[in-house]
Amino acid sequence: MLRDTLNCTIQCYGETMEIEIKIVQTREDRKKEIRAISKQIMKGIIDTKKTIILTPELFAKIFSPKRLDVLMTLTHKEANNITDLARKLRRKFEVVYRDLKLFEHFGFVKLVKENKSIIPELVGEIKMPVIA
């Protein structure tokens, strides 16, 4: 059974948030891991880390090359709003917005409404170790 852990550190306004990404082989293994964490939460044994449990296939979908382009463009502060970001990436607004909502769900991005624009912001700096 494949079971690896990728620890990400997000620096946000001087505070550090640890995100642990556990990669398990199958959907069934993912369900088991989620159940185990749920039991720990119910017992009051809660780690300060946010944990995301993914299969290799799900990891590849979430962190696809196009989605990583979104994060990299945000890192370099090359876009003022989602429309500008979509234009720079040469992708449709709807697709970029959907990707940003996914990253917002996982806590990597914050979408700030300002006037009639939605401004995507990275929630700090994301550091991921390289796995060879």
Q: DSSP letters of 11-54?
A: EETTEEEEEEEEEESSHHHHHHHHHHHHHHHHHT---SSEEEEE
- The whole domain housing 17 covers 3-60
Same domain, 54 and 76: no
The distance in angstroms from the start CA to the end CA of the chain is 19
Residue-wise pLDDT tens digits, 3-35 = 555 556 555 445 556 677 788 888 898 899 888
Element of type H or E holding 107 = none
Q: What is the pTM of this model?
A: 0.72
CATH number at residue 87: 1.10.10.10
Residue-wise pLDDT tens digits, 89-111 = 999 999 999 999 999 888 788 89
Same domain, 72 and 54: no
